[in-house]
Amino acid sequence: MPQAEVLPRMAFLRSRWAGRFNGEQCRFARERTTLEIAGPLAYPFESMVDRDFSYIVLGGGGFIGTNLCRHLASGGARVRAFSRHFSFPDPMAGVDLRTGDFGDTDALVAAIDGCDIVYHLVHATPPQPANANMAGDIKNNVLPSLALFDLCRKLQVKRIVFLSSGGTVYGRSEILPTPETAPTDPITAYGISKLTIEKYLALHEHFHKTDYRVLRVTNPFGPFQTTIKNQGIVAMLIACGLRNEPIEIWGDGSAVRDFVYIDDVVDALELVSRDESDFRVFNIGRGEGHSLRDLVERIQRLLGKELNMVWKDARASDVAVSIVSSVRAKEVLGWAPKTTLDEGLEKTIAWWRGRTR
């Protein structure tokens, strides 16, 4: 690894709630090849762990956002959700719901103002449409993210937590399970735009002292994941299975993925918002690989019925094996997945059965 370059930085953080926080944070950033690590921290004030933060979840109406908002609100936190649409508003009691478009600057300012932690979960373009319209992917995701970072700086946000993609940013990695230090060579427009946003966050820290963390999540699944965007293989298999509908799968089912239950993802999102370590990027996955055929067999067993599978030719953007190493998250954040694949599938099936009654 090339010798680290020491970069001084000082961030002045002021709470938008009177009397909550005073002080300054001095930090020396140590740049490495992936630009995700900062150097030793000096905190002349109480730690991030002890702070009473307020949160805004951009993309709060989506699968992960809904679960995250519910979790944070259940712990008594002040939570605001921003989304174009809320599919499940009733289960989000106690959350301040704000409707708006990610590209609407005025709506974003009104939503973010007064919040300490910004969760950036928005990605307007699913993986396959992104490949078909790469310029649109940049326009709808990368450019609005850059505008968001500037707004967060002006509004004195304490930290940005960005949800990246552990299943796409590494591409066809030769290192399995794949650590955060592995080469990032995505073979999809979706993965490239996710990685681009990561890099711009690192650059924003370098120029503007923006505090941030990135979670590279693998294949999350669980309650509130629907099939509307044709994204999420677990939701698709369960929903179509319960409705006795055919299910189209690209490839022969040998592709291996790292499936992680949503409750474990939400735990990681909460932990990383208070992280005081030197690291910026964390993989989140079980570190276990399961083929799609194995997944189908497990769901068939739990549903007690055979699924109507239609296997199609694999796509050029499909990675044969995607498994990440979450050792860093375990050692630094104290995070570990608590839910086995079968336990997560059982809970997800129970949620879907409740919806289809």
**pLDDT digits 0-9 by tens, 298-315:** 999 999 999 999 999 999
> Does 217 have pLDDT greater than 80?
yes
Structural domains in the chain? 5-222+261-286+317-339 (3.40.50.720)
- What CA–CA distance (Å, rounded) separates 215 from 329? 9
Between strands 96-99 and 5-11, the pairing is unpaired
What tokens were used for 96? 């301040």
| pLDDT single digits (tens) 311-356 | 999 999 899 999 999 999 999 999 999 999 999 999 999 999 998 6
Residue 59 has pLDDT above 60, yes or no: yes
249, with CB counted inside 10 A (0-12, 13-18, 19+), is: buried
In sequence order, what are the beta bridge partners of 336? none
Could you tell me which residues come within 8 angstroms of residue 241 by beta carbon, excluding any fewer than 6 positions away? 247, 299, 300, 303, 305, 307
- Position with higher pLDDT, 321 vs 3: 321
E strand or H helix that includes residue 269: helix 262-272
pLDDT for 51 equals: 67
pLDDT score, position 48: 64
Q: What is the pTM of this model?
A: 0.86
Q: Kindly indicate the confidence band of residue 230, based on its pLDDT and cuts at 50, 70 and 90.
A: confident
